[in-house]
Structure 1
Amino acid sequence: MQAAISGFALGLSLILAIGAQNAFVLRQGLSGAHVFAVCLLCALSDAVLIAAGVAGFGSLTAALPGLEAAMRWLGAGFLLCYGARTLYSAWRGGESLRAGVAAGSLRAALLTCLALTWLNPHVYLDTVVLLGAVSAQYDNRLGFALGAMSASVVFFFTLGYGARALAPVFARPAAWRALDLGIGLTMWAIAAKLITG
């Protein structure tokens, strides 16, 4: 039980900070578009990464030093493009909660979610390497992994569905512009951090 609680606490602490993936889930939650599918995909992706870390996959990144650099540059490029698109949306304006609901197919939402998750090199450092290393301290590594996976499920579904409480605020186009501006700048800041190492 102690291993599961520790896994839950560490897993939650690693995903609480606002990042590209969390900003995307928040936006999907606010618009009400494909919320369940996006939250489920995030939680399942985390489960795969956590399982890989606990199983010792972190040693692969140590054995292939070029892998981390390639993922870093690929992730930075994607974030720069996604951030530019979001900043353009903020500049253009005119979007409201109702417009946001109609925008975007399920396929586009899931592909964006996959890219924001799997092209982020920090997810490998945090979820695979760090969680994997910490799990080695516990005899019950499965319990630790299940605790960390549970934290992901709780976090993403709370973020996705909890965002609807902010719906009255985002009925105004100005609020969407501010959100898009914040998300775009966050994407670019993360990309800049990836580029500068």
Structure 2
Amino acid sequence: MNVTAASAAMAALSGLGFGLSLIVAIGAQNAFVLRQGVRGGHVFAVVAICALSDIVLIAAGVAGFGAVVESFPAVLTVARWAGAVFLIGYALFAARRALGSSALLVETGTATALSASVLTCLALTWLNPHVYLDTLVLFGSFASTWAAPLRWFVAGGAMFASVVWFLALGYGARRLGPLFARPAAWRVLDSLIAVVMIVLAVKLVV
């Protein structure tokens, strides 16, 4: 099959749209990126980890690793329970911040060490079985409906969607900085994050 500019563009746009439909949703990873963006805490590192993780997983999905994951459901089971435990723990920390003193709520970008931010981001990304289902299985299946030469254009569109989304979420959140100069705003955000994490943890195990 000859790949024309029109067919490549159509494949890339389809990948872009499908990728955004999977990425743009209220989830643990997005909530964490939003919070780091508002705080100005190691935003580049967090955005890079999220985007690069998606790129690796999307490439694996297009390469056919979704079938491998489906062949070993025990892997997803372990990830599901580990992810649920981590989400509950993160939710408890968020709830503690929401109920804490005002002095603890007005945070700065240096409040959390880089290593802690990186490890948290990696855990929220790689301990979430939905990440594997979305990228390896769902996106891999979607890409397989395209002719082989066009699948990587589909993947490229989705990868671009991931990079743009996390950059926009992480650095766009800084515009909310003046709002979060007030402790009450941090209480609301951390309360919402705690609720989201608990709901996601329950969904993982149920």
TM-score for the superposition, normalised by structure 1: 0.96
Alignment correspondent of 1:86? 94
**Structure 2 alignment gaps of length 5 or more:** 1-8
Map 1:54-65 → 2, pairs under 5 A: 54-65=62-73
Correspondence for 2:26 among 13, 18, 40: 18
Query: Could you give the per-residue CA deviations for residues 94-141 of structure 1, whole angstroms, max 9, x where no partner exists?
Result: 2345x2322111111011000000000000111111000000111201
CA contact (8 A) 1:93 1:177 kept: no
RMSD: 1.0
Structure number, greater radius of gyration: 2
Displacement over 6 Å in runs of 4+: none
Alignment correspondent of 2:166? 156
Q: Give the residue type in structure 1 aligned to 2:15.
A: G
1:185 aligns with 2:195: yes
Structure 1 CA distance for aligned equivalents of residues 108 and 33 of structure 2 = 13
Aligned length: 195
Q: Give the residue type in structure 1 aligned to 2:59.
A: A
SS of structure 2 residue aligned to 1:18:
coil
Structure 2 CA distance for aligned equivalents of residues 65 and 47 of structure 1 = 23
Structure 2 CA distance for aligned equivalents of residues 154 and 93 of structure 1 = 36
Map 1:124-139 → 2, pairs under 5 A: 124-139=132-147
1:116 aligns with 2:124: yes
Q: Give the residue type in structure 2 aligned to 1:156.
A: F
**Structure 1 alignment gaps of length 5 or more:** none
Q: Give the residue type in structure 1 aligned to 2:94.
A: T
Structure 1 CA distance for aligned equivalents of residues 185 and 40 of structure 2 = 16
Correspondence for 1:142 among 138, 145, 152: 152
SS of structure 1 residue aligned to 2:146:
coil
TM-score for the superposition, normalised by structure 2: 0.92
Q: Give the residue type in structure 2 aligned to 1:12.
A: L
CA contact (8 A) 2:97 2:105 kept: no
Structure 2 CA distance for aligned equivalents of residues 158 and 45 of structure 1 = 17
Correspondence for 2:185 among 150, 175, 191: 175
Alignment correspondent of 2:6? none
Q: Give the residue type in structure 2 aligned to 1:19.
A: G
Q: Give the residue type in structure 2 aligned to 1:173.
A: P
CA contact (8 A) 1:7 1:148 kept: yes
Q: Percent identity?
A: 56
Correspondence for 2:48 among 35, 40, 45: 40
When residues 93 and 7 of structure 1 are mapped into structure 2, their CA distance, relative to the original with a 3 A threshold, is farther
